[in-house]
Amino acid sequence: MKIDKLIIGSVAMKHWFPDFPRVPKDIDYISPENHVNNKEVEYLWESEFQWFLDNNKDSTYIDPENLLLLKTAHLGWDIKWEKHISDVDFLKRKGYKVNNRKMYDTLVKAFTRKHGKRWASLKNKDSTSFFEDAVSRKYIHDDIHEAVAIYDKPLYKSLVYEGVSCSEKGFDKLSYDDKLNLVKEEVWVTALERYLIPEDFKCSKIHAYQKALKKLATTMSSGWFKYFILTNIDVLRSDRDFTYIDKFKQAEKENKLRYYENGRPN
């Protein structure tokens, strides 16, 4: 069976799942043929999308598992992120999973060519600078990590493997729960540094966590770490453990947090 084009997006979601809540406003296709886009119809194409035409089971609508793969790879960019993450959550609740790392990586290359690289590289960074970027800070980054750590030390220190910092092999040695815990520790520190501390904790703790998770999933991660975050984004988004705020405030009260003398340059 030769497929020339596939319907994707909300029309495909509504086809497979009548209970999908969003009403489609237009129809999106992937197709290698030249078409004219308008307000009602949009044709999308990157050469890597040929895989979907070659491997889709349905001849008209993209299969749900393939749509999840496509949307998950696109979540690395803050482009209509809330819409795509809502769709990913919906598909995950329906029981679908991303199990094709090779095709995910291929799609990331396609989207990088289309949208540009918008994240920090992890190459040649040691474990202490693994998640740091240029942001004005009040307290030493690693001190906040120590304050909110789930165990006796931050889990990112477990990423060192055979002398290599930020190692995927070090990450793979962790249990699934501790991989999630490592990500959550990074989200907590980001939420504190970027949203809670600067706003004197007036920012909603749920809002701060979700914004920090989005930041980590888009511009503050790449490669294998981003893949883990995005393929477990539904689990991470549902986390409601806010004890890290109490742990931070206790460390602050006990003067365990060192100040930056001049902050960090923006």
31 assigned to some structural domain = yes
Parts of the chain with a pLDDT under 70: 119-135, 161-164, 262-266
248 assigned to some structural domain = yes
Phi, psi (5° rounding) for residue 65? -70, -30
Greatest Cα-to-Cα distance within the chain, rounded to the nearest angstrom: 68
Q: 79 CB contacts (<8 Å, ≥6 apart)? A: 115
What pLDDT, on the 0 to 100 scale, is given for residue 213? Answer: 98
What pLDDT, on the 0 to 100 scale, is given for residue 164? Answer: 65
Pair (24, 101) in one structural domain? yes
Tell me whether residue 30 is exposed, middle or buried, using C-beta atoms within 10 angstroms of its C-beta: 0 to 12, 13 to 18, 19 or more: buried
Count of domains observed in the chain: 2
What pLDDT, on the 0 to 100 scale, is given for residue 123? Answer: 53
Pair (85, 158) in one structural domain? no
What pLDDT, on the 0 to 100 scale, is given for residue 266? Answer: 36
What is the reported pTM?
0.90
What pLDDT, on the 0 to 100 scale, is given for residue 3? Answer: 93
Q: Which domain holds residue 216?
A: 127-253
Pair (54, 151) in one structural domain? no
What pLDDT, on the 0 to 100 scale, is given for residue 26? Answer: 93
What pLDDT, on the 0 to 100 scale, is given for residue 33? Answer: 86
What pLDDT, on the 0 to 100 scale, is given for residue 119? Answer: 60
What pLDDT, on the 0 to 100 scale, is given for residue 265? Answer: 39
Cβ proximity of 92 and 231 under 8 Å: no
Pair (82, 162) in one structural domain? no
What pLDDT, on the 0 to 100 scale, is given for residue 30? Answer: 96
What pLDDT, on the 0 to 100 scale, is given for residue 113? Answer: 95
260 assigned to some structural domain = no
DSSP state at residue 155: G
What pLDDT, on the 0 to 100 scale, is given for residue 260? Answer: 83
What pLDDT, on the 0 to 100 scale, is given for residue 195? Answer: 97
